[in-house]
Amino acid sequence: MENLINSKVKDIEISGIRRFFNMVSHYEDVISLTIGQPDFPTPDHIKQAGIQAIQDNQTSYTHNAGLLSLRKAIEHHVSTTYQLSYRAEEEIIVTVGASQALDITLRTIIQPGDEVLLPGPVYPGYEPLIRLAGATPVFVDTSENQFKLTSDLIEANLTNRTKAIILPYPSNPTGVTMTEDELKAIAETLKKHQLFLLADEIYSELVYEQKHTSIATFQEIHDQVIVINGVSKSHSMTGWRIGYLLAPAWLSRHILKVHQYNVSCATSISQYAALEALTRGSEDSKKMREAYKQRRSYVTRRLQEMGLEFAQPDGAFYIFLRFPLKGKSTMDRAIQLVEEAGIALVPGDAFSEYGKGYMRLSYAYSMKTLEKGLDRLEKFHLTS
């Protein structure tokens, strides 16, 4: 019967991050710095808002696009924080996490035969969604360009089949982000072509030295840009599964149709929790950001002392470090780290072929865990 399964589904694989995590989960006494999961609990006042929603019987369907009160909170949040102008009634859709926002957007704009540009290395969740929508992912090598998908790289890789570009900054796995000037150059390129751009900005609250700039601030490309965001990383709400997308009204009404038949609406209880996060939780994300910044400083200092090269992370909570392979594959080297040093890092080629020779380290862990893990990494690096 397996031959009856959709061939596109059979051809995709479980994320390389999860495959590696599952592969090493049976090892004992391993410090895992693999998963991009905030180690903070959801703030109490947000949890209480979810509990209160249950007690108030707010457990029925909401509007397909989400609670209007939440959409208005999103409208206000993106306006005051990122200077973006999107109308709650027509241009904002609340989704089941950022992943579902990406899925329904791609299924709306993509047709078989299209191509989608994305930077390599990159989060592995994009490629399967692109393929399931019938398009071909085109990975652009950014490893010699500070891991940034610049306007020049975009121009060099456009074809007559290019339908969309994915711009995921701050980046998973590298932690780098884009400057306003770099985004302006991309906007200048984009307006010359009939293309969509999906800006995945889920880590926008976790930018350290500079303020996050959204490419959607450039009004000349307003009709071409879809912004994806959510509360998972900013408020440590990964399990609540609330994301949102911002798009011009003419496009949102089509995306909403796919969303409606996909999930009807995001979970009502989680929407009330997200409403609390976005109206009274601004200090929560600031406290978490400061903690991540301190961890980043510690980890980068330790790696520099070890003589390991890495892209300087501007945001998110990842470091992408070049790791000597010593004649092994990236995967085998990562397994060797687990078996001989008791530390797990994600092999870089989980993020496309352009991650070969790198490892992703997540510092979304306590300082105690980071200290112990880096001690093991240092010992291995000096002796292996």
pLDDT(19) > 90: no
Query: What pLDDT is stored for residue 78 in this prediction?
Result: 98
- What is the chain's length? 384
pLDDT(254) > 90: yes
Query: What pLDDT is stored for residue 138 in this prediction?
Result: 98
Query: What pLDDT is stored for residue 23 in this prediction?
Result: 72
Query: What pLDDT is stored for residue 291 in this prediction?
Result: 97
Q: What is the pLDDT of residues 138-185, one digit of tens each?
A: 999 999 999 999 999 999 999 999 999 999 999 999 999 999 999 999
Q: Decide if 205 contacts 289 (C-beta within 8 A).
A: yes
Residue 22 — very low, low, confident or very high, per pLDDT cuts 50/70/90? confident
Query: What pLDDT is stored for residue 7 in this prediction?
Result: 86
Q: What does the mean pLDDT of the chain come to?
A: 95
Return the H-helix or E-strand segment holding 95: strand 92-95
Residues 220-223: contacts with CB within 8 Å, 24+ apart?
Answer: 220/187, 220/191, 221/187, 221/190, 221/191, 221/197, 222/248, 223/248, 223/250, 223/251
- The mean pLDDT of 63-71, rounded to a whole number, is 98
3-state secondary structure of 221: helix
pLDDT(17) > 80: no
pLDDT(61) > 80: yes
CATH class name, domain 60-280 = alpha beta
Fold of the domain spanning 2-42+283-383: Aspartate Aminotransferase, domain 1 (3.90.1150)
Nearest Cα to Cα of residue 330 among 318, 343, 317, 345: 345
pTM: predicted TM-score of the whole model, two decimal places = 0.95
Residue 233 — very low, low, confident or very high, per pLDDT cuts 50/70/90? very high
What are the structure tokens assigned to 101, written together? 């926002």
Q: What is the four-CA torsion angle of 371, 290, 179, 164, rounded to 10 degrees?
A: 80
Q: What is the pLDDT of residues 201-210, one digit of tens each?
A: 999 999 999 8
- The mean pLDDT of 2-17, rounded to a whole number, is 81
Domain chopping of the chain, boundaries: 2-42+283-383, 60-280
pLDDT(227) > 90: yes
- The mean pLDDT of 301-306, rounded to a whole number, is 97
